Structure 1
Amino acid sequence: MDFPPSQSTTPNGGHDDKSFRYDQDAKAFPSRAELPQIEGTPPGAAWFWGPEDQIGRLNLLTKERVKAAAAFIKSGTLVSLNLPLDFPATPAFGREPFKHEIKTLFPGMSYDDKYNLNTQSGTQFDGFRHFSHLPSRTFYNGTKGHDIVGPAANDKCSIHHWADHGIAGRGVLLDYWSYAKDREIEYDPFDHYAISYGELVACGKAQGVDIRPECQGGDIWPGDILLVRSGWRAVYDLKTPKTRQAAGLRENIPGPHDGQRWAGVSQEAAMVDWLHDCYFSAVAGDSVTFEAWPSLTEDYYLHEYLLACWGVPNGEMWDLEKLSTICKERGNYFFFVTSSPACCYGGVSTHANAVAIL
């Protein structure tokens, strides 16, 4: 396989730790099993866009790939992927609920909005400062806690770098909720349920999508934006307000005994391999957590790999209901998708402001 060249290689064919770079225009990239271990990085880290890199796998959204993705706009149909800012009414993990006030400038003439919010409410992206590689307490590309808060705080891997670059590319939806319903697979997205890699393979096959990377003969391009529908939004309105509130207020204890329990993709090794090897520029799901929460069988979280090790934006609580209906009607699960991150210097996360165009 033709991997992107490094700027220099060692005499034995290995990579020079100080100068190895990915070629963002390459057609294929190293699999997770083939990653070189760069001295001073967490195990499994892929910090290969340069020591000053701030955007991770958003580097894959090249002009050529964005232009190719635009060819998937067929009818010009716009589909918002955003929940209201106050969803859920009782946020999980002890987060503050959204508050909205109107400021009157001149009665009957002019008014302003005043928002008080946590960016982890509503449809959002986790930024690279949100979750570290836990054993080393290291965030993407060597960012540390003292870069985020304290007297030495700076803009390293701040969310504004995403805003400066922009997010737009080809989206692919894996509608696991519909797949499960069609096969009478029952589960509650408000409880722990792990969607296995094998189930995603079967889901993709049912949709006519080979979820292997293109370099392995599949349909996934480098830079694609993955969306997984696990059913959280589909059942939200079916829950009583009291039940939704109780779910959000469940005790948050890091580790397998966490009271916060949500459906999402599994954290098995096969899932980690697949998510890495597809070289998605970003991933997102409709649940409160992209992966099944908590991690019951593994001693790591996908958040660690996606955000800290690979630099992959991790989206949560995306509204995939209308999109899933239209994709099913069209028989096509690829589309153009765009997201506009907030330009907040020093920011940790952002509302997604996401739209699919079909």
Structure 2
Amino acid sequence: MAEQKSPAAQRLTQVKDFLAMSKAATTIPWDPDCTKFPSRKELPKIEGAPDQAAWVWGADDHIGRLNLLTPARVAAAAKEIRTGEMVPVNLPLNVPAQPAFDREPFKHEIKVIFENIAYDDLYHLNTQSGTQWDGFRHFAHVPSGNFYNGAKGTDIVGPSANNKCSIHYWAEHGIAGRAVLLDYRAYAYSKGILYDSFDRHAIPYSELAACGKAQGIDIRPTAQGGDIRIGDILLIRSGWKETYDSKTPSERCAAALRHGNGEPGDDGQRWAGVAQEEEVLDWLHDCYFAAVGGDAPAFEVWPTQKEYHLHEYVLALWGMPLGEMMDLERLAEKCRERGRWFFFFTSAPANCPGGVSSHVNGTAIF
């Protein structure tokens, strides 16, 4: 069980919250409508869970930070829709032609029902082959072997397999809310920071903050005086699609088929992405994003040179959907054209009971 405050301390907190017209998350399970949540350093210790686990929405919770997408927050986010312009963020299902990390390429067949009258599709795909949501069954907290909310590998495959933390719960809840784009690629190049997004390039918090400032955004949470609201969806453009388009098919394939662990002299998978560092962990947690995503194959810089991956924190410890390989090129152009970096965002994950992940099926609306 989580450590609890004394009754007197709880009552004092309640009085303060009432006077401030706010509600703090102090009792597990947390109420998603709360307006104040603990920082990463203030997270309660939960019995049986790894340190820094935020399994706070109930023992039977399967959607994690998506709980923050309450009707009130979605309704408020809808005010971002002003012109009605829509920008999908989904790559074609056959892009990349050769997926990274040894994943199966997409295959499409046409099934003839009646010649010249009726046809069907047959898709053969790995949901991680392109624009994707990493579900909570995708990546565990490595030291403990726990997936989100205590799910285990035996919940996913084998004779005891069940639907704990399945992707279909996301589909049943829905994903819609206010999103923000940080166009790091454009910012970096404007500052002479040149890099190949098909190679290892770590994006630290300091540069993300500077990128936000250049766009007129304070990327700190509102609780710290910034512009990020509880339940916002974060998107980061690192330039992967731009680089992909600039390379030949053989160069793309060679990069995707690199093997090894990325050690010096090793030809392993290497991709630009968000840095594994304490400042990034604090920021991703304390903003209380409902979900995060980007255009890179791993979101975080790959391979990690720390003893942990951001995936462990984002997915397994905090229950935050993590998107990868979104097509953010047109979105960045539209944001720049409109001078707006916040917009309404909606996504329809696959309703697949027992599923690990899903294509995003996402659209930004201005």
Question: Normalising to structure 2: TM-score of the pair?
Answer: 0.92
* 1:48 counterpart = 2:56: yes
Per the alignment, residue 321 of structure 2 pairs with 313
- Secondary structure of 2:80's counterpart equals coil
Distance in 1 separating the partners of 2:40 and 2:348: 29
- 1:70 paired residue among 75, 78, 103: 78
Note the 1:63-212 alignment, pairs <5 A. Answer: 63-212=71-220
Note the 1:29-40 alignment, pairs <5 A. Answer: 29-40=37-48
Per the alignment, residue 3 of structure 1 pairs with none
- Secondary structure of 1:170's counterpart equals strand
Distance in 2 separating the partners of 1:174 and 1:20: 33
Deviation sequence 1:218-242 (CA, Å, 0-9, x none): 0000100000000001111101111
- Segments of structure 2 that go 5 or more residues without pairing to the other structure are 11-26
- Secondary structure of 1:355's counterpart equals strand
| Structure 1 residue 87: Cα displacement | 1.4
Distance in 2 separating the partners of 1:315 and 1:13: 39
Asked whether the equivalents of residues 108 and 122 of structure 2 are also in contact (C-alpha less than 8 Å), the reply is yes
Per the alignment, residue 348 of structure 2 pairs with 340
| Structure 1 residue 339: Cα displacement | 0.2
Per the alignment, residue 293 of structure 1 pairs with 302
Distance in 1 separating the partners of 2:161 and 2:176: 29
Distance in 2 separating the partners of 1:327 and 1:7: 44
Per the alignment, residue 238 of structure 1 pairs with 246
Task: Describe the shift of the 1:23–1:258 C-alpha distance in structure 2 as closer, same or farther (beyond 3 A).
Answer: farther
Asked whether the equivalents of residues 195 and 201 of structure 2 are also in contact (C-alpha less than 8 Å), the reply is yes
| Structure 1 residue 253: Cα displacement | 3.6
Asked whether the equivalents of residues 169 and 336 of structure 1 are also in contact (C-alpha less than 8 Å), the reply is yes
- Secondary structure of 1:237's counterpart equals helix
- Secondary structure of 1:199's counterpart equals helix
Deviation sequence 1:160-186 (CA, Å, 0-9, x none): 000000000000000000101111210
Deviation sequence 1:96-123 (CA, Å, 0-9, x none): 0000000000000000000000000121
Instruction: Name which of structure 1's ranges 27-36 and 256-265 shifts more when overlaid on structure 2.
Output: 256-265
Give runs of ≥4 in structure 1 deviating > 2 Å: 6-14, 252-258
| Structure 1 residue 264: Cα displacement | 0.7
| Structure 1 residue 254: Cα displacement | 8.6
Distance in 2 separating the partners of 1:31 and 1:46: 11
Deviation sequence 1:249-290 (CA, Å, 0-9, x none): 011449896811101110111100100000000000001110
Distance in 2 separating the partners of 1:32 and 1:105: 56
Matched AA of 2:55: W
- Secondary structure of 2:208's counterpart equals helix
Asked whether the equivalents of residues 182 and 211 of structure 2 are also in contact (C-alpha less than 8 Å), the reply is yes
Asked whether the equivalents of residues 106 and 124 of structure 2 are also in contact (C-alpha less than 8 Å), the reply is yes
* 1:259 counterpart = 2:275: no
Number of residues of Structure 1 aligned to a counterpart in Structure 2: 348
Distance in 2 separating the partners of 1:7 and 1:136: 21
Per the alignment, residue 281 of structure 2 pairs with 272
Per the alignment, residue 336 of structure 2 pairs with 328
Asked whether the equivalents of residues 336 and 357 of structure 1 are also in contact (C-alpha less than 8 Å), the reply is yes
Distance in 1 separating the partners of 2:30 and 2:175: 19
Distance in 2 separating the partners of 1:319 and 1:111: 29
Asked whether the equivalents of residues 47 and 310 of structure 1 are also in contact (C-alpha less than 8 Å), the reply is yes
Asked whether the equivalents of residues 228 and 287 of structure 2 are also in contact (C-alpha less than 8 Å), the reply is yes
Matched AA of 1:321: E
Per the alignment, residue 282 of structure 1 pairs with 291
Asked whether the equivalents of residues 7 and 21 of structure 1 are also in contact (C-alpha less than 8 Å), the reply is no
Task: Describe the shift of the 1:181–1:300 C-alpha distance in structure 2 as closer, same or farther (beyond 3 A).
Answer: same
Question: Normalising to structure 1: TM-score of the pair?
Answer: 0.94
Distance in 1 separating the partners of 2:238 and 2:267: 20
Task: Describe the shift of the 1:150–1:255 C-alpha distance in structure 2 as closer, same or farther (beyond 3 A).
Answer: farther
Asked whether the equivalents of residues 27 and 215 of structure 1 are also in contact (C-alpha less than 8 Å), the reply is no
- Secondary structure of 1:69's counterpart equals helix
Distance in 1 separating the partners of 2:7 and 2:79: 43
- Segments of structure 1 that go 5 or more residues without pairing to the other structure are 1-5
Distance in 1 separating the partners of 2:262 and 2:295: 22
Task: Describe the shift of the 1:27–1:342 C-alpha distance in structure 2 as closer, same or farther (beyond 3 A).
Answer: same
- Secondary structure of 2:133's counterpart equals strand
Per the alignment, residue 15 of structure 2 pairs with none
- Secondary structure of 2:358's counterpart equals strand
* 1:214 counterpart = 2:222: yes
Deviation sequence 1:306-331 (CA, Å, 0-9, x none): 00000000000000001101101111
Deviation sequence 1:12-32 (CA, Å, 0-9, x none): 859xxxx72222111121000
Q: Identity over aligned residues, as a percent?
A: 63
* 1:355 counterpart = 2:353: no
- Secondary structure of 1:71's counterpart equals helix
RMSD: 1.7
